[in-house]
C-alpha cells in the first residue's frame, strides 16, 4: 500500500488522480468533475494506492471518506467510492503547457500510469480531464 498526496475521483469506470501543490485547486477540480460530469469522489488530498497484477487501485482513508475541502466554504460531505482502478494522473501546474503534448508516464505502486499536465487556471480544465480519459479509451483501451 502506498499513500500519495492526490485527490481522486472515479470518472466512468476508472480513477483519475489529481496532483499539485497545496492550494492549486485539486479539490475544486474534483468537485467540478463530481457536480458536472457524474464523477464520484474517492478521496480528497490523500489517496491510498495498491497494485494487483498490472493494475493500480485508488482507495480512500476511512477517516476522510466522503469529505472534500471547499475553500471559502468548509468541509462538504459527498457520496464516495473506493477500490477503483487508476486510469491516469492529472498534474496541475501553473507553467506554460504545450498545445499538443504527448502524455508522460509516471510509476505508482510499481505500475506505469499515464500522466497529463494541465494549467489549474484554465477555466475548462474539468473538460480536459474528461477528454484525457476519453483519449486513453480511444487510443489504448486503458479505461
- What CATH number did the domain enclosing 43 receive? 3.40.50.300
Q: How many domains does the chain have?
A: 1
Mean pLDDT, the chain, whole residue set: 92
Assign 133 a pLDDT band (cuts: 50, 70, 90): very high
Assign 141 a pLDDT band (cuts: 50, 70, 90): low
Please check the confidence at residue 7 and state whether its pLDDT lies above 90.
yes
Q: What is the mean pLDDT of residues 8-37?
A: 96
Interatomic CA distance for residues 89 and 81, integer angstroms: 18
Give me the pLDDT at residue 143, please. 47
Write the DSSP assignment of 65-92 as a string of letters: TTEEEETTTEEEE--B---EEEEEEEEE
Higher pLDDT, 72 or 7: 7
Predicted model pTM = 0.93
Chain centroid to Cα 132, Å, comes to 11
- In the block, which residue shows the cell 462538504? 76
Q: Which residues pair with 113 in a beta bridge?
A: 106
Assign 122 a pLDDT band (cuts: 50, 70, 90): confident
**Region of poorest pLDDT, from 2-6, 46-50, 101-105:** 101-105
Interatomic CA distance for residues 103 and 132, integer angstroms: 9
Rounded to the nearest 5 degrees, what angle is found at the Cα of 6, between the Cα atoms of 80 and 96? 125
Give me the pLDDT at residue 99, please. 73
CA terminus-to-terminus distance, the chain: 22
Assign 116 a pLDDT band (cuts: 50, 70, 90): very high
Closest CA relative to residue 17, chosen from 25, 6, 27: 6
Query: Whole domain around residue 56: which residue ranges?
Result: 2-140
Assign 100 a pLDDT band (cuts: 50, 70, 90): confident
Are 57 and 50 in contact by the 8 Å Cβ rule? The answer is: yes
Amino acid at each position: 500500500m502506498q499513500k500519495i498526496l492526490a485527490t481522486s475521483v472515479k470518472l466512468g469506470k476508472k480513477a483519475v488522480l489529481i496532483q499539485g501543490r497545496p492550494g492549486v485547486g485539486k479539490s475544486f477540480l474534483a468537485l467540478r468533475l463530481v457536480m458536472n460530469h457524474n464523477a464520484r469522489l474517492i478521496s480528497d488530498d490523500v489517496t491510498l494506492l495498491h497494485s494487483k497484477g498490472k493494475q493500480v487501485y485508488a482507495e480512500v482513508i476511512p477517516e476522510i471518506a466522503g469529505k472534500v475541502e471547499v475553500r471559502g466554504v468548509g468541509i462538504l460531505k459527498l457520496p464516495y467510492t473506493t477500490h477503483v482502478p487508476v486510469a491516469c494522473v492529472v498534474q496541475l501546474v501553473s507553467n506554460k503547457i504545450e498545445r499538443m503534448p504527448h502524455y508522460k508516464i509516471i510509476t505508482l505502486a510499481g505500475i506505469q500510469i499515464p500522466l497529463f499536465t494541465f494549467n489549474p487556471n484554465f477555466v475548462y480544465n474539468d473538460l480536459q480531464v474528461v477528454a484525457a480519459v476519453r483519449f486513453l479509451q480511444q487510443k489504448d483501451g486503458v479505461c
